Homo-oligomer: A and B are copies of this chain.
Amino acid sequence: MTVLLEPVPDAVRLPAGFRAGAVHCGLKKAGLLDLGVLVADHDVEAAAVFTRNRLVGAHVELCRDHLARSGGRVRAVLVNARNANCATGAQGLDDARRCCRELAQRLGCPTEQVLMASTGPIGLPLPTERIVSHLDALLERTSPGGGLDFARAILTTDTHPKAVQVDVGRHCATGIAKGAGMIHPDMATMLAFLLTDAELPPAGARGLLPDLARRSFHRVTVDGDTSPNDTLLLLGGHRPGAVGHEGAVATARALLQVGQRLARQIAADGEGATRLVTVCVRGAADEDEASHVGRVIATSPLVKTAVTGRDPNWGRILSAAGRAGVAFDPERARVWIGDTEVYADGIPHPEREPEAHRHLAERSKVVLGIDLARGDASAEVWTCDLTADYVQTNADYRS
């Protein structure tokens, strides 16, 4: 049933100074890769954005602590799938810390320079022995070409690995992520790692990341649910040197592009998805308003099932926007599907619906648009359709 909406990487180029690798340590079945690591040759600058859920996985607490204690310097990130190490109490935090300590010893760096991320079902103790006993083999497998293995190891219900690279002059910005269900603006069950060897803006990784997150991963929603484990990490780069401001701007642009393309890959691989849906909101008072309305539309089960049914149902789009708490005038609004305006100035255009239907039926990437006629701001939000397969997957999967 899987429909491939975005390209699957056949290789992942890592920026200079980074290695990656993965092994099977027994968390997933059938020998599938389930433990991955990113390693920098020297400690690099790091910044993070975490879930806003009140319930957080142990790794979130650990990462916050390690980043504070290391002054935001990181050597490695260890990632396991099939166990979220969440709702596991003090033991969970101890377990995560032990994994980091063991890896740090092997790398010869302080424990706080190692971060960890976990994804999978919650409430089960982390199989720490299993992880620790595979660290040597894991480090032996790291290489500059190990990005794709890493991308595979972190997947859960995803159907394929997600990675994007963009050149920045001689340098490179690379992103690797996992997503699928439970994806929402609040950084849902999503792990994303951005790496670069290019120069960063003067404010560094921490200055750059919040806005990047706001304009990429926070604009994805699969089912409106959010996970306790969402984590976005940015590693590497250096402060402006010879190239100066221009180079920093290019890096910021490249990283945003990587983030947005990964975000689209995540939406496209939403559980059961057959369409990648771009919700385009224009005419908002400001960008936050535009993205908020976009999220309400993108979260609406009625809008999403209309796409499933290839039904150019502008009424559901207008109605979803109507409950976003934004005081727009429906009589002045416009709604389009693909390039076809199906509602404008208070008037539906049923004669154009066959054309809009063809867009939904024939394209795997579809566009739903609304102009609120309030201002000049716009934003895009990415989601997917809601199918019976989504229900099946989540009625079966213990997450």
Contacts and interface: CB of A to CB of B under 8 A. Distances in A.
Interface in A371-398: 386-388, 390-392, 394-396, 398
Interface in A274-317: 299-302, 305-306, 308-309, 311, 313-316
B122 A315 contact: yes
Interface residues of A, number: 63
A109 to B, nearest CB: 31
A55 interface: yes
A347 interface: yes
Interface in A77-115: 86-87, 89
A87 B399 CA distance: 41
A36 interface: no
A228 interface: yes
A54 interface: yes
B343 A300 contact: no
Contacts of A86: 315
Given A123-B343, A224-B224, A224-B300, A319 B391 contact: no
B319 A122 contact: yes
Residue from A306, A319, A327, A395 having most chain B Cβ neighbours under 10 A: A319
29 contacts: A53-B323, A54-B321, A54-B322, A54-B323, A54-B328, A55-B322, A87-B315, A87-B343, A87-B346, A121-B315, A122-B315, A122-B318, A123-B314, A123-B315, A123-B348, A181-B302, A223-B301, A225-B301, A225-B302, A301-B386, A301-B390, A302-B394, A305-B390, A305-B391, A305-B394, A308-B391, A311-B398, A316-B399, A388-B391
